[in-house]
Amino acid sequence: MKLPILFMLLFGSITLTAQSLDFLPAPPPNLLDRETELYYESRLKSLQKNLPLQGPGKRAMKRLYEARYEKLFRELRGGYMIDRKGISDLCQLVFERIIQANPDLQKLPLRLYVSEETGPNAVSLGEGTVILYLGLLRRLENQHQLAFVISHEIAHFVLDHSRNTMVEQITYAYNRAAREAEAARIENSSRAYEEVVNLLQKRLYQRHRYSRQAEFEADSLGLRFVMATSYAPEGALGLLEILDQVDADKFQDSIAYRQRFDQAAYPFQDRWMKPPAKSGFIYGKNDFALEMAEDSVGTHPDCQLRIQVLQRQLAANQSSLQLARGRQRDALFRLLHPQMDKEWLTSFYRNGQVGKSLYYSLKALTFYQDDPYVHSMVGLSLYHLYQSKKNHRLGKVLDFPQPKQPEDYQTFLTFVRNLKLKELLGLCQAYMGAQPEAWNSYEPILFAKVCAASLSPESARFQELSKTYQKTFPQGVYLEEWKALAQP
Amino acid sequence: MRNFILLFCLLCIQQGFAQDYTVEDVMRLRLRNIGPIIQENQVKGYYAFYQVARADRGNRIFMLKILDENAQEVASSSLVKSKFTYLTEGVYNGKAILFSFIDTRERTAELVTYDLSAQQIGSLRYPRMRGNVWRATYGYSMIEGEESSNLTIYPAGESGFIRQSFVDTRKTGYKLEFLPNDLGESGRWEKSSDPQSREFEVPEIADVHAPFLISGIALRRNSSSRDIHYNLQLRDIYSGEALFEQPLYDKQYKLSFLMGKFHPKRNEIMVVGEYFRPQDKVFNGKSLGLYIMGLDLEGNINRKVFLSWQEDISKFLSVNEKGRLDEGGFLAFHRAVLDRDGELYFVAERYRKAVSGTGVALNILSAAAGSESSGIAYLKMVVEEMLVFDLSEDLTLEEVKIFEKRPNSILLPEGWGWFSSKALAQYMASFGWFDYNYTQEAPDDKSFYATFISMDKEKKEGRKPYMGVIIKDPEGEFSLDKVDLRTDARRINVLPASPGKVMILEYYKRERRLSMRLEEFNY
């Protein structure tokens, strides 16, 4: 597809989705059509034909491939992938441009999907499928960075990293003689425990050393693929800088709980912020996992080190490096970020991580001030937290505060954990009640108001809002959920 | 707890992605080896003790995980021990954690202490036990009693622990000892029962409130005697000296011992139990009612109240003079709770003996098949509603709250039908066969949570197991909450947690995963 036409298409959709009252959560798509199914079935057969192992190892490898495809099929069918104009189109555009610019890649069975996974990551399944996580996309700033992410994952496939790891692990697992010799040595040793720990460490170090070496290789080859395109290779440096700080959340401002939840109908109580008593235990000082040097167990090398290696490669190929280009925010991403962030919030909610959905929605409100969709997410999350608490299932959807978590998150968890059941109800109803009536024409807000009002099912307010929803959105995206509320 | 001895398998524990604490790749784990770490009836954390590898022919490498009260991992530590090792108790005193192990092959007990970062600070191995001492120790370690209470080890301030154990005397006696945090000799003391005593003596530590250690000593001629009498003992935990030891005695009645607690507001030892006619036996006799006694620190009785079935309790319940309820059955008293203002609560459960249709049918079928017996008694025990007796500070019975639940039948082993209802209740309590589970007292000393496991039957949904929680809030209001225990998991179990919460363990066999999550009670 020609670039200007794509841009027009993208801009058309992005302009619409960027309007705060136009974002609607997309129903989970089923991307497993017959053509895709046949494609993957033939890929599986061809992978299983030329296996480098024999006997039980070969059978194990076959089973592993089958399990991998089963999982992929489940995810394609079950709505874990995203198929939304804007985000998906942009990723496919960049993906295609990389393939077009690298003739060797055109012969390979490559496919790309965007997953609603919330972590900042991307994966290569090892047989040509690259999956980009929404959690990473929303942290990117430009197409150059995106081009490097995709190229890096393609490079893992080209270099056969996944298959090599699989072969190495299966070979070890099925090498009975070697394992028995190790077991006998350990059994006869007077220092059996130390021997077991040493063996585990050795295996872990070997695997991670290989994994870290593979990352350097994928960086290097991925950069070559990018350099063949018109994307700036400095995007690679920009991306690694972002990954280096990925633990710091994009929404950095603290949540103003009092300001957010002090409603005339339901005044804020200081008790809600009271921290829990400290346990007295000293955490992680005598931990088996920590006995192993922390760096040695990381699968990815340090980002700063990767930047240095890539800089050397870039310097050898280019006369001048414009590092700033790597971090420039381009117009497309600026327009797509609200959509990505809202999809990301929705993903927590849809996958049952309601606590995180509320936490990040409140954080998002410090960034997207007065965005009605984010307000609706706050209301819906409060509603589901109430239901979970009522049914003694809160532990399934909300963490307990613990010292390892960021302080901001601990404060949030303390706040929610301090709310009694009736307070959660009161807060949910007061919060949604405070949202402007004018926003009732926006489906997510109206539906969140219906949910909040449904906590008092006999109330006239619930009947009134429910009827309005039915009348205004007869084909709404929340229609099935509304039916469950209206006809319990 | 029922269903406690489940065998699960486990390879390693890790923090999962989900909101709960997840144990992955579960291969082999005795669920009994996951338990609460307790300090003064409060859950302060949990331990998980499981085998990870074979060290040599007789020994195994175990992993000991310490979790905080929110089930977040504090630390893990490895131990090499005999494959016959069981972890029986975990106790916390604010400065150290003590774990008690027994080796069922060597018949030895071992204590290990850790500091708050799980560094081992002491260990102590006791010599091989023999005869009655071993049988009593083993029996105690397998007790299915209340898991929110200490069994044989108690925190003694922040400086050490009190341990009770059995010793060989003329009959079997007991030993109380104070163990410092490092399990060393400094500050340690031991006090044993009279070696010439003609009676079997079992202590029941009722309360450790520094510097006082309050115990009820059950005495009987031999271990199977049903005629039990009690001594009340008060010791100084730091010196080990007995401040007094005297029989629990009344001129008119025989007294049992249900609870002893220090009442700081009145500087008084409160003792409660049931009272009987002098000729009746405490173990299987029918009581005349409940007594409450307040003693000063020298053992002098300050006040004594008798609440008779006939005069006092019948105002609130239809009951005859021997405690038999009009609807049938008796009351088993599980726990007494004394709040900071001196108000007293008894948690009880109604039970009755009934003919078992299943027992009769099985015995007829066995007889028809030429077998002598089916192994099942003709009679069964039925446990019914829960009750809470509410007494004011001046020990007047003010109210009896009744909390309905579905009757639950317990088939009895053959021959048990001959026991009296009262004796059966004692056995059932020690085997954990009542629906009653445990009681948590909140640190405010004003509220408590008494729990039981029961089943609702609903038309559409079939059997619906739940954990019932009788909640007494700080304002004195009572309510009942139900924690739904239906699950997709293969097994579900509950452990006590910090007040107002419960720890739910779910085992997913297919995924070989054990999840632990905390849920709060609603009121």
Q: Round to whole Å and give the CA distance between B371 and B389.
A: 47
pLDDT at res. A193? 62
State residue B108's pLDDT score: 93
Residues of chain A falling short of pLDDT 50: 1-19, 287-297
Chain A contacts of B56, Cβ < 8 Å? 187, 192
- Kindly list the residues from chain B whose CB atom is less than 8 angstroms away from the CB atom of residue A283: 68, 72-75, 117
* Contact with chain A for residue B365, Cβ under 8 A: no
Any B CB within 8 A of A290 CB: no
B146 or B392: which leads in pLDDT: B392
Q: Taking CA B162 as the corner, what is the angle to CA B161 and CA B164, rounded to the nearest 5 degrees?
A: 140
pLDDT average, residue stretch B202-227? 84
pLDDT digits (tens, 9 = 90+) for B95-133: 899 999 999 999 999 999 998 887 889 999 999 988 878
Contact status, residue A354 vs residue A385, Cβ threshold 8 Å: yes
Listed by number, the residues of chain B in 29-48 with a beta carbon closer than 8 Å to a beta carbon of chain A are 44-45
Burial of A468 (0-12, 13-18, 19+ CB in 10 A): middle
Report chain B residues whose CB lies below 8 A from the CB of A284: 74-75
CB-CB neighbors (< 8 A) of A420 in chain B: 522
**Which of A196, A395, A398 lies at the smallest CB-CB distance from B61?**
A196
Give the closest of B19, B20, B75 to A285, CB-based: B75
Tell me the backbone φ, ψ of residue A465, rounded to 5 degrees. Answer: -65, -40
Optimal mutation site among B21, B51, B74, interface A, most CBs of chain A within 10 A: B74
User: Hey, are the CB atoms on B75 and A283 less than 8 Å from each other?
Assistant: yes
To 10 degrees, what angle do helices A192-227 and A303-317 make? 30
What is the nearest CA distance from B347 to chain A, expressed in angstroms? 24
A294 versus B50: the higher-pLDDT residue is B50
- The Cα A117–Cα A336 span in angstroms is 17
The B residues from 226 to 255 touching A (CB cutoff 8 Å) are none
pLDDT value for A201? 66
- CB–CB of A193 and B55 under 8 A? yes
Is the CB of B74 less than 8 angstroms away from the CB of A282? yes
Q: Report CB contact under 8 Å: B119, A286.
A: yes
Residues of chain A positioned with their CB less than 8 A from the CB of B115: 282
Q: What is the mean pLDDT of residues B337-341?
A: 90
B20 vs A: CB within 8 A: yes
Element spanning A156, H or E: helix A143-158
Most confident segment among A93-107, B152-166, B315-329 = A93-107
Q: Which of residues 408-447 of A touch B (CB under 8 A)?
A: 417, 420-421
CB atoms within 10 A of CB A267: 11
Q: Of how many residues is chain A composed?
A: 488
Which residue, A129, A152, A144, A304, is CA-closest to A221? A152
Shortest alpha-carbon distance between residue A300 and chain B (Å): 19
**Is residue B355 scored above 80 in pLDDT?**
no
Model pLDDT for residues B369-382, shown as the tens digit of each residue: 666 665 666 678 88
Q: What is the pLDDT of residue A347?
A: 95
The mean predicted confidence, pLDDT, of chain B is: 82
B61 CB neighbours in chain A (<8 A) are 192-193, 196
| Residue B348 and residue B333 in contact, taking contact as beta carbons nearer than 8 Å | yes
Best interface-test mutation with B: which of A117, A394, A400 has the largest number of B CBs within 10 A? A400
In chain A the first and final C-alpha atoms are separated, in Å, by: 49
In this complex, which of B19, B52, B77 lies closest to A399 when CB atoms are compared?
B19
Residues 169-198 of A with CB under 8 A from B: 187, 192-193, 196
pLDDT greater at residue B150 or residue B499: B499
Contact B210, B196 (CB under 8 A): no
Nearest CB to A288; choose among B54, B78, B94: B78
* Cα dihedral A180, A182, A186, A191 in deg (nearest 10): 180
**Closest chain B C-alpha to A417 CA, distance in angstroms:** 9
Burial class from Cβ neighbours inside 10 Å (0-12, 13-18, 19+) for residue A294 reads exposed
Confidence of residue B358 (pLDDT cuts 50, 70, 90): low
The answer to whether B70 contacts chain A (CB < 8 Å) is yes
CB-closest option in A192, A287, A417 to B61: A192
A192, A391, A401: residue with CB nearest B484: A391
Question: Which residue from B72, B76, B94 is facing A402, i.e. has the nearest CB?
Answer: B72
* List of chain A residues whose C-beta atoms are within 8 Å of the C-beta of residue B96: none
Show residues of chain A in contact with B53, CB under 8 Å: 192-193, 196
Q: What one-character DSSP code corresponds to residue A233?
A: T
**Which residues in chain A have their CB less than 8 angstroms from residue B45's CB?**
279, 281
Query: Using CB atoms, which residue from A280, A286, A391 is nearest to B118?
Result: A286
* pLDDT confidence of residue B390: 95
Please give the helix or strand (H or E) that residue A184 lies within, else none: helix A176-187
Pairing of strands B376-391, B408-413: antiparallel
CB A90 within 8 A of CB A143: yes
Closest Cα in chain A to B467 = A392
What sign does the dihedral B439-B445-B446-B447 (CA atoms) show? negative
Distance (Å, whole) CA B86 – CA B30: 9
CB-based contact B20 A281, cutoff 8 Å: no
What are the residue ranges of helices labelled H in A265-370?
Answer: 288-291, 303-317, 331-350, 354-365
pTM of the model: 0.82
B247 preceded by cis ω (within 30°)? no
Distance in Å, alpha carbon of B390 to nearest chain A alpha carbon? 26
- pLDDT over threshold 60, residue B3: no
Identify each DSSP E strand in B340-447 by its residue range. Answer: 344-355, 376-391, 397-403, 408-413, 436-441
% of chain B beyond a pLDDT of 90: 31
B contacts of A355 (beta carbons < 8 Å): 19
**pLDDT at res. B374:** 59
Which of B12, B473, B519 has the most A C-beta neighbours within 10 Å, making it the best mutation to test the interface with A?
B519
